[in-house]
Structure 1
Amino acid sequence: MVSTAGLGGRTGLVWRVVLVVLALGQVVSPLLVSALGGGAFTTSDRAGEPPIVPAGYAFSIWGLVEVLCLAYAVWALVTRSPGQQLRDRLARPLSVVFAGFTAWLVAAEVEPVWSTVAVFVVMLIGLLTALNIAVRHRAEITGWHRAPRALLWSMLGVYTGWSSVAIWVNLTTALTESGAPIDGPAGVTGQIAILAGATATAVALLWRTSGLLSYGLAVVWALVAVVIATADAQQPVLSVIAAAALLLVAAATTWFRLRRPVVA
């Protein structure tokens, strides 16, 4: 008779193997899309984009995300250190996220206007689920060796931080593709609302994670690029709003870290 623990262990192993495969998929899929001649929607600094889309250089953060995800997935598969049950629990939502990344690239080629937003929503739900699991087991993670602990928090923070801003930007792009204005009073007001939504999301997650530094830095990275992009587009009002959002996120990161109960 097969024990429940044995079945659970094999199921967890399967999920961790799947996670490695999907992490590799995140690395390979952009190369395949580019080789097949696609990628127009995901090309940075496209003409006609809303001013609040971050400057093109900022999207290089995806390379860091891919490396962190692959490194964590491989570590989670091969390590024999304590915390296997937690790694197994994290593997499920992270598999959804990693698969979503490749699905997002496909959606960007098939129907980039609203399908990409839908995929990003699913990805963000997966990231928030994984982040919530990690936060609730913060004390256990603190007992891990320093390197894997830093790897986990870096991966979750950078991926969630960039995605929590990118989903709002993706929404702006979808609205623009659907006919919404990008300039004039209506266009500027709409983009201010988008920046407010992204900032509120960031502050809420900084509160939930006790000022997770990797998360705050990823959001700051995105907002700096928004300030630059809006300045290049000669939209001073949006530049000021983006700069204010940047300062607010930086202050919130510092404040919540100072008040955090456990160092992460």
Structure 2
Amino acid sequence: MSDRIRQTVVTVSAVVAVVGSFIGSGAAGGTPIQDAAGGALGADSTLIAPAGPAFSIWSVIYLGLIAYAVWQFLPAQTHSPRQRILGYPIAVTLLLNAAWILSVQAGLLALSAVVIAVLLIALLFTFVRVVRTRRRGQGWVQSIVVDGTVGLYLGWVSIATAANVTALLTASGFDGFGWPADAWGVAIVIVAGLAGLALAVFGEGRLSPTASLAWGLVWVAVSRTTGTLPSAAVAATAIATASALVVATVIIRLVAERTARASRD
């Protein structure tokens, strides 16, 4: 019974998150996220805001989350020890995601920054559990639906958190302690890249967090070269950081796989 309750909670949470995304997209007649909260999260609101097409990654993430909700309800997964560990943490991230959309739609920018920061912490917690419970030979479906989805989710929320907090500070009139805006932009991009590198090291070269984080950084660069708030320094740093992160992750993965093969031999 406890397993069925968990499965139901995950599924209901996924439905809530998908409905929230539908509302957040403006498809239900509401204000799109980029236009809500006075446009504070728009593509040209801050130097860290990615261009609009970057948000299409949510379609992939939500597809993965829906697939997970269905997959974890299959009889073979009902009593899975791994799903008992991952189910509720993933459900929490889904509900937090919906809460973030609601806070933005309500124009509560400060609350949205708090919620997305908590969401990032919840995803980090979930990612740690994903990595520690992964087993070789678990199958490609589980690797994509569970590991891949959580990784993409975490990588994108990492860059989204940086953009959200930056938007809040900008809207609050933060002057950056006298630093030029470009300097802050470059610094934040580098910190995001270092965070991605830490995830790659801990995850032994997991590709999905790097893929979504690099995706976000590339679209930050696009926004800084084609939008109304240009910054050559931030754009160049974002491209360089995304490229370095991808290369480093691939190297870490190759080394991890070679080490694993050597230990088996």
TM-score by length of 1: 0.87
Match of 1:174 in 2: 168
Change (3 A) 1:146 1:44: farther
1: CA distance between counterparts of 2:213 and 2:223?
15
Q: Counterpart of 2:246?
A: 250
Alignment partner of 1:38 is 2:34: no
Q: 1:111-260 alignment to 2 at 5 Å?
A: 111-139=107-135, 142-180=136-174, 186-232=180-226, 233-260=229-256
Verify the 8 A CA contact 1:100 1:123 in the aligned structure 2. yes
Runs of 4+ in 1 over 4 A off after TM superposition: 42-45
Name the CA distance, whole Å, in 2 between partners of 1:163 and 1:45.
Answer: 14
Match of 1:77 among 67, 73, 77: 73
**Residues 187, 41 of structure 1: alpha-carbon distance in 2 compared, 3 angstrom cutoff:** same
Alignment match of 1:27 (pick from 11, 15, 18): 18
8 A contact 2:210–2:249 mirrored in 1: yes
Contact between 1:44 and 1:55, CA under 8 Å: does it hold in 2? no
Range that drifts further, 210-219 or 38-47: 38-47
Q: Which residue of 1 aligns with 2:54?
A: 58
Aligned to 1:3: none
CA contact (8 A) 2:4 2:78 kept: no
User: Quick check: 1:27–1:66 contact (8 Å CA) kept in 2?
Assistant: yes
Structure 2 unpaired stretches of 5+: none
Give me the whole-angstrom Cα distance separating, in 2, the residues matched to 1:158 and 1:47. Answer: 21
1:130-160: CA deviation from partner (whole Å, max 9, x where unpaired): 1111111222xx3323222222121011101
Q: 2:185 aligns to what SS in structure 1? A: helix
Query: TM-score, normalized by length of structure 2?
Result: 0.86
Paired residue for 1:87?
83
Q: Structure 1 residues 79 and 221 mapped into 2: Cα distance closer, same or farther (>3 Å)?
A: farther
Alpha-carbon distance in 1 for matches of 2:43, 2:118: 28
C-alpha RMSD over aligned residues: 2.3
- What letter matches 2:93 in structure 1? V
CA distance in 1, matches of 2:130, 2:20: 27
- Assess if the C-alpha contact under 8 Å between 2:48 and 2:162 holds in 1: no
Secondary structure of the corresponding residue to residue 95 of structure 1: helix
Contact kept in structure 2, 1:41 and 1:112, CA below 8 Å = no
Provide closer, same or farther for how the CA distance between residues 236 and 164 of structure 1 changes in structure 2, counting only shifts above 3 A. Answer: same
Q: Find the aligned partners of 2:3 and 2:191 in 1 and give their Cα distance.
A: 36
Taking the aligned partners of 2:8 and 2:192, their CA distance within structure 1 comes to: 34
* CA shift for structure 1 position 14: 0.9
In the aligned structure 1, how far is the partner of 2:40 from the partner of 2:183?
Answer: 23
User: Alpha-carbon deviation of 1:48?
Assistant: 5.0
Query: How much does 1:21 deviate?
Result: 1.0
- Tell me how far apart the structure 1 counterparts of residues 154 and 43 of structure 2 sit (CA, whole Å): 27
